[in-house]
Structures are given as structure tokens and as C-alpha cells.
Structure 1
Amino acid sequence: MKIALIATEKLPVPAVKGGAIQIYLDAVAQIIKQKHEVTIFSITHPDLADNEQNNGVHYVRFPEKQYVNSIVNYVKDASFDVIHVCNRPLWIKQIHDASPRSKLVLSVHNEMFANEKISDAEGDECVSLVSQIVTVSDYIGETITSRFPQAKSKVQTVYSGVDVNKFHPAWTKEGSAAKKNVRQKLDLANKKVILFVGRLSKVKGPHILLQALPQIIDKHPDAVMVFIGSKWFGEDNINNYVKHLYTLGAKYADHVRFIKFVKPSEISSLFTMSDVFVCSSQWQEPLARVHYEAMACGLPMITSNRGGNPEVINEGKNGMVITDFENPSAYAGAINSLLNSSNKCEQMGRNGRSVVEKGFRWEHVAHNLQTVYENSAKL
């Protein structure tokens, strides 16, 4: 089959500037190309060609301002069997009109069917035109079917994944070497490292973790909280919120590290060098992909009870869920309980690694998507 994968207009593919959707598309394309002809559409980037064949995948890139119209013009004559649109239900009508014989699959990675993002009429039309809607979590699926019940037969959860060959737990030879090397570079040898990875945005809750820090230091004077991320993907500019975080962090200079944007290809060793991973999201997170990466590196996880995040947590087995998600003391208590027991940390980490190996590899994601494409093509 000829399959088109359409990224959003935000970031390029491959994920040279990061982005969960961009990582997702490029990873699954490398597997799906073994059976099908795959084209990925994304926005242009100075370091990437506008049109190229790379490792068996065709990449087509258009400027952001002309992005959707350019894709519509392209698919008119391309005769794709299946067109997979990421996270943009409002593009479905245009693409259907341009290529009415193609089967359309929509993947939904955020609450794109919320009232403020799509009208009843637009949502109804989108649901009627697509063959299948895949979502990154049950939570996101429910945000669609609760408003558009007619979508139930078309909605299916396809969880994201991770390359387990690129993320190494500290108990492996590669992981042990990476942990030692990174800790030496960051002057973190013999420290207890608590890791946050994500945009430095209020909805991600890094300020709450900083507010929890005094209670952690009191029990674990050797604890260091490491924040990896910037205010937006691939950008290291700071805004007032990030300045506020830096000010909070400066009060505990020996216990806080800020590391700005890190390329996805370089992030694995920073997970590996840590002891505990924390996701403090305050918004209804669809299901942050950092959960898969933390598990792949054998880290015990602490996450907020927001959106789809708890769906990958088996409480007490591979992580802990914070229901009092706005309360710094709740995070401090959970972090301290893990730092109190290295055996507990390791067992949770090993359980998490087992979870991703069994169900959240990119091979699992690609297989599930291929089944969706092949079934759609038969309709």
C-alpha cells in the first residue's frame, strides 16, 4: 500500500527539534516501510531537504504558512491508499475532498475534539469521513466518544512506544557506563538524582517539584533535582515563568540543575543517570511519552493522576500515582519513600523495563497501526 503520514504544522520530521508526534511518526515509518510505501509530510527546516528519500522513507516538507494547502495539492495526484493525519481533525475534510478514494485515519494525541477546538458540525463531519480514529490513551478516546458517541465504533487506543535498544537501564553494561560518564560531567557523582523531563511550562508543574524540594532535602541532603527542557521544543529562550523557576532553584543551588533543550537522540543517558523520574503535570495530559522513556531506562516513576498518565502505571509495581497532584508535599512524600529504599527503586525500575519490552516497543505501535491501515483499506 501507499501510505501518507501527515505531521502537524509545528515541528519537522525527523524530530530534530523534538516533539512526541514527530518522534512517533519517524519511528513507526522505519518499521512500516518494510511492508508498505511510506511518505511523511512535515514542515521545512534549514537542516533538512524539502524533498528526499532517506532510508527507505520519502520525506516531503513544506513551509509552515503554506503547509496544509501544499499537502492538499500534493495528495490530489498521489493516489495514496491510506492517509494518516496526526492531531488535526479540521484538515480531514480538505484532504478527503482532494483525495476521496484514500482511506483516512486520524490519530489524536491531545483533546482536539474539545468544544473550543471543533464545532459539533465539524466533529460530526470528521467522524463520518475517517475510517478509523486512533488515540494515544483511553482518556483521549473518551474525550471524543463522550461528545461524539457515533465515533465509538471507529475509536481505538494505540499507545505510543520507545526504542528499547536506545534506552539503557543502569544495571546494563551500556547503562552503567553512561550513568558514570554523565554524572561525572554534571558533577552528580554519589548524588540521589530526581529527574523531570518536559517543557518548562506551568501546566507541567515543575514549580511544584521545586516547592517540594525542602522536604526532600531534609530527608535526603544528597538529593539533586534535575530539570531537562525549555519553554518550547528546540528553543532555549526564557520567559517570565522560566525566570521564576530559575529564581526558585537558586535558593537551593546545590540541589537543582537546569539543563536546557536536549535532542531526542541524546536524552537516553540523562534518564539512565537518574534514580527517580517524576511527571508533575497539572493539565489533563494525554499520556506523556517520557513515561515510556523512563520505564525503558529502568526508572521508578511518580506521575500525576491527570489524563492518560496513570494508564501505564501499575501502582506500587512500576510507579506511583499522585492524586493530590497540586500538593508539593504529596510529591515529596512519594520521592522520599523511593529514595529511602534503593531495592524498591530497582525493583520498580525492572518492572517498568519489562512493561515496555512486552507492550510498548515501536514494533508494537507499528504493528497496531499497520493493522488499522490494512483494515481501513478493506472498507
Structure 2
Amino acid sequence: MKIALVATEKLPVPAIRGGAIQIYLDSVASIIGRTADVTVISIKDPELKDSEERNYVKYLRFDEHSYLEQLARHVRGAEYDVVHVCNRPSWIKTLAEASPETKFVLSVHNDMFAPDKISDQEGRDCISRVSKIITVSNYIGKTITSRFPSAQSKTKTVYSGVDLVDYQPHWTTEGSRIRKRLRDEIGLEGRKIVLFVGRLSKVKGPHVLLQAMPKIIEEHSDVMMVFVGSKWFGDDNINNYVKHLYTFGSLYPENVTFIKFVKPRDIPGLYTMSDLFVCSSQWQEPLARVHYEAMAAGLPLITSNRGGNPEVIEEGKNGYIVYDFENPEAYAVRINQLLSDSSLRHRLGKYGRAKVEREFGWDTVSKNLLSIYKEAMR
């Protein structure tokens, strides 16, 4: 089977600049490439060659300003069996016209079928031309099928995944070593660490966690809330919202710290050094991949009842859902509960790690994708 995996025009693959889609494509490509002819297509980057081969996978990179045009020209002559396009339903018509014999699979990682992103005609045209639509959560699937019922028979949820080797729980020998090293380096030995990983934007809700700090500090003076991220992938420039967060956080110099953009390879250790993970998203999140990462590192989860986030939570088994998601005190209650009970943290963390191993390893994701590709070709 000859397959092309197509990233958006935003970031390169491999994910040297971050990006959930980029991590997703690079991870599954190396596994699917063991049994199929796989090409990953993304934008050019000064740190990457325009074309190369790694681990049985070919990588092609096109200029971001003429990306779709170059992509269409490439698929016209490449004779792929399946082209898997990520998050760009509006591209399907152009690509399908360029290569009518190819089967197209669209994966939807955000609400790309919203009225402000695609017209009724474009949506219907896309759905008629694709063989399958993969969504990262049931929530995203419903955003498509509720507007376009004709997509129902083609749409299937395939949850994303995580590298089970890169993320080490603290109870493993390697995890224990990483935890001690990073805590020593950052000066956090003996602290209870609450971790936030994500863009520092209002929709992600870090300000809500800062508003919860007085209630948390009241019960746990040894807490350290660690915010990992910047305003955009790889961009440490400060906008007004980030400046507000830094000013707000400075009110609690002993209990709040910010770590700016971290290269993807350094992210796993930050989970391992922490005690629990919080996702405070205020928008209808498709299903943030940080949930998989936290579970893989053996952390209990606290997440907001937004979008697809609750779909990976088994309440009281691997974490908790905050239904009153705009209320700082609602987060404080759950954070304090977990900080007060190390055995509960350990039990939830163990269950989460086992859940990831069963359901969300990249081998499982790749197997699910291959099954859909084969269905598309029938």
C-alpha cells in the first residue's frame, strides 16, 4: 500500500516546533512504514532538508506559501493508494481532482466543519469525495455529523496516542532518576508540583488556575504550580495576556513558576517530575493530547468539561472532570484533594498508565489507521 500523510501548512514534521498533528503523523508514520510505502508531507523548515528518508519513511517538504499547489502537483503524479489529509477539508476537492484514482482519508483534529470555516457547499463536496473521515474525539465527530448528516457513515473516532517509552512514571527506575534530576535542577525537591502544559492563551485557562492559588496555598504552602508553554508554538514573545499571567504569578513567587517553550523531546521529563496534571481549557477543546501525555507519565488528571476532554477520563479512576470549569475554586477543591492524598494520586496515576498502555499507544493508533485505510480502498 502506498500512503501519503499530509500535515497542515503550519508546522514541519518531525515536530521540531511542536504541534499535536505533527507529533501524530511522525509517530504513526514510523510504525505504518514497516509494512507500507509511506511519505510524510509538511512545510519546509531551515533545520530540515526539503526531502529525506528516515526509518523507512520518506519526508517531503514544500514551501508554506504555495503548499496546496505543490501538494496537488505531487499527488497528481505519485499514484498513491491513500492520501491522508489532516485538518484541511477545503483541500480535498483540489487534491481529489488532481488524483481521481486515489482514495482520500481526512482526519479532523479541530472543529474544521464549523460554519465560519467551511461553507455548506464546500462541506458537502468534501464529504462526497473522501472515503473516510477520522476524528480525534466523539465530540469532533458530532460537530461534523450534526451539520452534515451525510458524513455519518464515513466518520469514525480514532483517538490519538503517546510514546510509551518516552514518558516514564516516577515509580519506574528511569522515572525516579528523571524526577530527582529535574527537581534538583529546577530547585523543586520536596515540593508538590501541579503541572500545566499548553499555549498561554485565554482559551486554555491558565488565569483560572492562578485565581485558584490562594485556596490551594491555604492548604498546601509547599505547592508549586508549574506553567509550561508560550503564547504560540516556539514563540516566547510576550503579548498582553502573557504579561498579565506573569504579573499575576509574581504575586506568588514561592508557589508559581513559568517555563517558556520547551522542545518536544524535553517535555516528558516535566511530567515525570510532577505530582498531578491540570487542563483548565475554557473552549470546546477537541481533546488535548496533554491528557495522553499525563496518563503515560503516571499522573492523575484534572480536566475541564469542555469538548472532547472528558472522553478519556474515567471519573475517580484516572482523574476528575471539573464541570464548573470557569470557577477557580472548583479546580482548587480537586487539586487540594489530590495533594492531600499521595495514595490516591498513585492509584489514579497507575490506572491512567495502564489505560494508555491498553488504548493509546502509537502501535494501537497505527493499527486503527491502517484498518481504515484498507476499508477506504475496498
Cα deviation, 1:16-47, whole Å, max 9, x if unaligned, reads 00000000000000000011000011001001
**Aligned equivalents of 1:21, 1:234: Cα separation in 2:** 15
- Partners of 2:293 and 2:174 lie apart in 1 by 16
SS at match of 1:303: strand
Equivalence for 2:256: 256
State the distance in 1 between where 2:315 and 2:285 align: 18
Q: Secondary structure at the match of 1:302?
A: strand
SS of 2:171's equivalent in the other structure is: coil
- Equivalence for 1:370: 370
Confirm or deny that 1:34 pairs with 2:34. Answer: yes
Gaps (5+ residues) in structure 2? none
Residues 300-315 of structure 1 correspond to what in structure 2 (within 5 A)? 300-315=300-315
Indicate yes or no: 2:76 matched with 1:76: yes
Partner of 1:175: 175
Mapping for residues 201-280 of structure 1, pairs under 5 Å: 201-280=201-280
Q: Deviations over 1:152-200 (max 9, x none)?
A: 0000000000011110000000000000000001110000000000000
SS in 2 for 1:238: coil
**Matches of 2:43 and 2:370, distance apart in 1:** 24
Residue identity opposite 1:186 in structure 2? I
Correspondence for 1:325: 325
1:23 alignment counterpart: 23
Q: Structure 1: how far apart are the matches of 2:252 and 2:63?
A: 44
Helix, strand or coil at the partner of 2:302: strand
Distance 1:265 1:69 in 2: 32
Instruction: Provide the rounded CA distance (Å) in 2 between the counterparts of 1:153 and 1:340.
Output: 47
The structural deviation recorded for 1:55 is: 1.7
Q: CA deviation at 1:264?
A: 1.2
- What residue is the counterpart of 2:112 in the other structure? 112
Residues of 1 paired with 2:223 and 2:52: CA distance? Answer: 47
Partners of 1:233 and 1:365 in 2: how far apart?
24
Residue 295 (structure 1) aligns with: 295
Structure 2: how far apart are the matches of 1:206 and 1:17? Answer: 22
SS in 1 for 2:78: coil
Displacement, 1:213? 0.5
Write the deviation string for residues 190-214 of structure 1: whole angstroms up to 9, x where unpaired. Answer: 0000000000000000000000011
Distance in structure 1 (CA, Å) of the matches to 2:264 and 2:304: 23
* Aligned counterparts of 2:57 and 2:235: Cα–Cα separation in 1: 27
SS at match of 1:253: coil
* Structure-1 separation of matches of 2:128 and 2:353: 39
| CA distance in 2 between partners of 1:21 and 1:125 (Å) | 24
The amino acid across from 1:41 in the alignment is I
Q: CA deviation at 1:263?
A: 1.2
Output the amino acid matched with 1:139. Answer: Y
- The Cα of 1:238 is off from its aligned counterpart by 1.0
Deviations 1:104-126 (A, max 9, x none): 00000000000100111110000
- CA deviations over 1:33-72 (Å, ceiling 9, x no partner): 0110000110010010001112211100011101110101
Match of 2:158 in 1: 158
Per the alignment, residue 123 of structure 1 pairs with: 123
Other-structure match for 1:59: 59
CA distance in 2, matches of 1:116, 1:353: 38
Report SS of the residue matched to 1:278: strand
Q: Distance in 1 between matches of 2:293 and 2:219?
A: 28
Q: Which amino acid aligns with 2:130?
A: V
Cα deviation for residue 354 of structure 1 reads 0.4
Tell me which residue corresponds to 1:347. 347
Aligned match of 1:145:
145
1:265: Cα distance to partner?
A: 1.1
Measure, in 2, the Cα distance between the counterparts of 1:122 and 1:287: 25
> How many equivalent residue pairs?
378
Q: Note the aligned Cα RMSD (angstroms).
A: 0.5
Cα separation, 2, equivalents of 1:55 and 1:47: 18
Q: Distance in 2 between matches of 1:91 and 1:127?
A: 12
The CA deviation at 1:235 is 1.3
What CA deviation, in whole Å up to 9, does each residue of 1:209-234 have, x standing for no partner?
00001100000000000000000011
